[in-house]
Amino acid sequence: MLAWPHVSQPGCHIEFAQSPRDDLRDILDWYASQDVPQVGRRIVAVEYHRQRPGYWGTRG
């Protein structure tokens, strides 16, 4: 677990998700709130594919 659950700077606030799945859901939600849900879906699809075993030439 991270020691700092969030980071704040003037004009910027970052919170760390509890899991990668939460991160991906947050990405989907944010792009949907910007009226471009298809962008979020493409980014999440690419990241999901990239994390699958075998993507980096290894077998999982």
Instruction: Please report the pLDDT score of residue 2 as a whole number.
Output: 44
Q: 54 to each of 51, 58, 60, how far by Cα in Å?
A: 9, 5, 6
- Confidence (pLDDT) at 52: 74
**Spatial separation of the C-alpha atoms in residues 25 and 3, rounded to whole Å:** 23
Structure tokens at 57: 């030439």
* Amino acid 34: pLDDT: 94
CA distance 23 to 47: 11
Residue 14 phi, psi dihedral angles, 5° rounding: -120, 130
| Tens digit of each residue's pLDDT (9 = 90 or more) over 15-57 | 777 888 888 898 999 999 999 999 999 999 988 888 777 655 5
